[in-house]
Chains A and B, each alone.
Chain A
Amino acid sequence: DQQVKQNSPSLSVQEGRISILNCDYTNSMFDYFLWYKKYPAEGPTFLISISSIKDKNEDGRFTVFLNKSAKHLSLHIVPSQPGDSAVYFCAASDGGSQGNLIFGKGTKLSVKP
């Protein structure tokens, strides 16, 4: 049973527009959420994170929103650039597991020039 779900395997967006990647989770004990970006033949790169005590965290073009009641988080990229084309993974952790990250299956983002 998947605890972290990314239901969209792929997303295509025009350069300059907003990209919205979604993630749902089932475990209410999760208290920290992270987004990673992965290019082919490279390891995942940490992008941005959010604690469950917040509902928004922003870093440059990247903003993560957390809706705890809906057990849903989203990553917004504005404006999208062709270099953002990659697979994006949502991950979650509960403090008691000492850092075991549980990942979704990923969403492949394609940003068209």
Chain B
Amino acid sequence: DAGVTQSPTHLIKTRGQQVTLRCSPKSGHDTVSWYQQALGQGPQFIFQYYEEEERQRGNFPDRFSGHQFPNYSSELNVNALLLGDSALYLCASSLGQSLGSYEQYFGPGTRLTVT
């Protein structure tokens, strides 16, 4: 049973550029959440996708956007990169809230470095 997968594992970008990160959820899961983890901090919620719609959003600017595809995979896009966007980006999958499951299962993350 494949767990959550993310690509790429590492990425180096320049300030002002745009980046796209990808995530495939655990088999059977239909909900994808994205988190940003800065060094020495806990993961911080960016947004969650369910049924191809953004269901909830954390305190992140509009430069952060996402998409969910019919096969439940998801993308995170960040425009106009800033140095402060350097972090580990984690994708987590779960079952829809209607099934009462709060557990989210994380992928290995994408390490983004902005220079």
Contact = CB atoms under 8 A, between A and B. Distances in A.
Q: What is the interface residue range for chain B against chain A?
A: 20 to 34
Interface in B88-115: 90, 92, 94, 97, 102-109
B58 interface: yes
B15 interface: no
B110 to A, nearest CB: 10
B42 interface: yes
Contact of B103 (A49, A89, A102, A106): A49
Contact of B102 (A34, A103, A104, A106): A34
Interface residues of A, number: 25
Interface in A70-113: 89, 91, 93, 95, 97-106
Contacts of B105: 46
Given A43-B109, A44-B90, A105-B40, A32 B102 contact: yes
Interface of B: 4, 6, 31, 33, 35, 40-45, 48, 50, 55-56, 58, 90, 92, 94, 97, 102-109
Interface of A: 4, 32, 34, 36, 41-46, 49, 89, 91, 93, 95, 97-106
